[in-house]
């Protein structure tokens, strides 16, 4: 449908503002879950003119998505589906209720430029005041992977599935809880149980969070352990059958370790997504941890782009060399339409972003406009 001149003007005014957060980082996760997202519109028109893109057995309107994180529940999924993001990931859930870490959960950082693959031992200082340019937004976050009880999130995933539009897909991210199941067999089974619950609720694709830097070491480092990660992906695949399975990886410093992990998981998965946030030490200027008592937290946004690009480059190369058939989904430091182009041109199948749409809900639309409003295939 064509917009009226009034709607066009309103949209122009909205697009002129570069940063307009929908997630309030001064408030708790719980507050944002209940009262967010903070978006007042207007909505961009949905153009269905472009050719749809094949994404496994699905047709999607574009290869632009939102990674696990900012979409806390079905209200957030509904909003971002209307904003033109076509691959939507429901924030990671667990098989039992878990509260969030206390606020602050996100703070802005001044990293002094990009963080290179050799910089991960650096200590970062939090305290940047305000975000005015998307290319300058880097944050650290620490939620601890909170979850509602399954009966609540399962019903809400059903709602999210009903809320998305034609040519969109819903990914549900799940995770096992090693504090509840410290033994490997129990932990592995917990992933399968949670994945099965997400499948029952109508997820199009299940994603395993094997790489959260804010959970305990056992949960967060799973992705670097070829034996454990592949035991989990194999068990989940056996449980969910034909429902596609993605795994979410973090950054690798070692190419050899990366190759071993990918080889072990490739037979069991339909997609590999990376990278998760970078686990780094983040302090306030006073020397205290930036996020209440947690000196290490996940860093994401603009500054992690180089690390994400290294991961994606390796993923594309190893897929080609070994003729793996999984989809490659790139995430990390994608803040602008130019970044989306750069990532898609590297040969990945889809690009996702997490930090950027929290400050720029119009990113997918800006991308379409930068391509003459065509579909973003």
Ligand X SMILES: Cc1cc2nc3c(=O)[nH]c(=O)nc-3n(C[C@H](O)[C@H](O)[C@H](O)COP(=O)(O)O)c2cc1C
x-marked contacts with ligand X along 255-294 as a string, rule CB under 6 A: ---------------------xx-----------------
**Residues forming beta bridges with residue 125, ordered by sequence position:** 283
Q: Which member of 333, 337, 361, 375 binds ligand X (CB under 6 A)? A: 333
Q: Which member of 44, 84, 150, 301 binds ligand X (CB under 6 A)? A: 301
Closest CA to 327 of 138, 116, 141, 58: 58
Q: Which member of 83, 109, 300, 348 binds ligand X (CB under 6 A)? A: 300
- Round to whole Å and give the CA distance between 66 and 87: 6
Closest CA to 131 of 105, 104, 110: 110
- Round to whole Å and give the CA distance between 192 and 198: 10
Q: How far is the CB of 114 from ligand X (least distance, A)?
A: 12
Q: Binding-site residue total for ligand X (CB under 6 A)?
A: 27
Closer of 42 and 177 to ligand X (Cβ) = 177
Segment contacting ligand X by CB under 6 A, of 2-10, 36-44, 52-60, 350-358: 350-358
Closer of 62 and 92 to ligand X (Cβ) = 92
Closer of 327 and 354 to ligand X (Cβ) = 354
- Round to whole Å and give the CA distance between 307 and 264: 22
Known catalytic residues are 212
- Round to whole Å and give the CA distance between 12 and 16: 6
Segment contacting ligand X by CB under 6 A, of 46-54, 67-75, 239-247, 317-325: 67-75
> What sign does the CA torsion over 32, 80, 60, 337 have?
negative
Q: Which member of 199, 248, 279, 319 binds ligand X (CB under 6 A)? A: 248
- Round to whole Å and give the CA distance between 201 and 203: 6
Q: Is 61 in the site for ligand X (CB under 6 A)?
A: no
Contact 265, 233 (CB under 8 A): yes
Closer of 44 and 332 to ligand X (Cβ) = 332
> What sign does the CA torsion over 77, 218, 258, 191 have?
negative
Residue ranges binding ligand X (CB under 6 A): 67-70, 91-92, 106, 141, 143, 145, 173, 209, 212, 248, 276-277, 300-301, 304, 331-334, 353-356
């Amino acid at each position: 449908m064509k917009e009226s001149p009034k709607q066009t003007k309103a949209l122009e005014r909205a697009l002129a503002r570069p940063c307009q957060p929908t997630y309030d980082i001064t408030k708790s996760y719980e507050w944002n879950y209940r009262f967010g997202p903070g978006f007042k519109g207007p909505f961009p028109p949905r153009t269905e003119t472009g050719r749809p893109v094949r994404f496994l057995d699905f047709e999607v309107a574009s290869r632009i998505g939102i990674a696990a994180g900012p979409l806390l529940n079905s209200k957030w999924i509904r909003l971002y589906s209307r904003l033109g993001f076509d691959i939507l990931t429901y924030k990671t859930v667990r098989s039992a209720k878990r509260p969030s870490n206390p606020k602050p959960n996100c703070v802005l950082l001044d990293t002094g430029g990009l963080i290179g693959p050799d910089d991960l031992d650096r200590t970062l200082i939090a305290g940047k005041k305000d975000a005015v340019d998307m290319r300058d937004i880097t944050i650290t976050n620490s939620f601890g992977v909170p979850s509602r009880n399954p009966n609540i999130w399962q019903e809400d995933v059903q709602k999210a599935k009903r809320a998305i539009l034609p040519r969109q897909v819903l990914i549900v991210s799940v995770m096992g809880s090693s504090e509840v199941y410290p033994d490997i067999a129990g932990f592995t089974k917990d992933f399968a149980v949670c994945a099965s619950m997400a499948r029952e609720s109508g997820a199009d694709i299940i994603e395993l969070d094997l790489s959260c830097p804010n959970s305990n070491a056992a949960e967060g480092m799973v992705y670097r352990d070829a034996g454990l990660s592949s035991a989990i992906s194999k068990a989940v695949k056996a449980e969910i059958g034909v429902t596609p399975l993605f795994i979410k990886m973090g950054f690798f410093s070692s190419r050899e370790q990366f190759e071993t992990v990918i080889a072990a998981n490739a037979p069991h998965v339909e997609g590999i997504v990376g990278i998760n946030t970078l686990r780094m030490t983040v302090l306030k200027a006073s020397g205290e941890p930036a996020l209440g008592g947690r000196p290490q937290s996940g860093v994401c946004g603009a500054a992690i782009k180089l690390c994400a690009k290294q991961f994606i480059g390796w993923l594309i190369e190893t897929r080609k060399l070994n003729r793996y058939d999984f989809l490659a989904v790139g995430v990390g430091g994608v803040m602008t339409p130019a970044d989306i182009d750069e990532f898609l041109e590297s040969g990945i199948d889809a690009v996702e972003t997490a930090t950027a749409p929290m400050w720029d809900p119009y990113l997918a639309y800006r991308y379409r406009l930068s391509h003459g409003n065509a579909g973003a295939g």
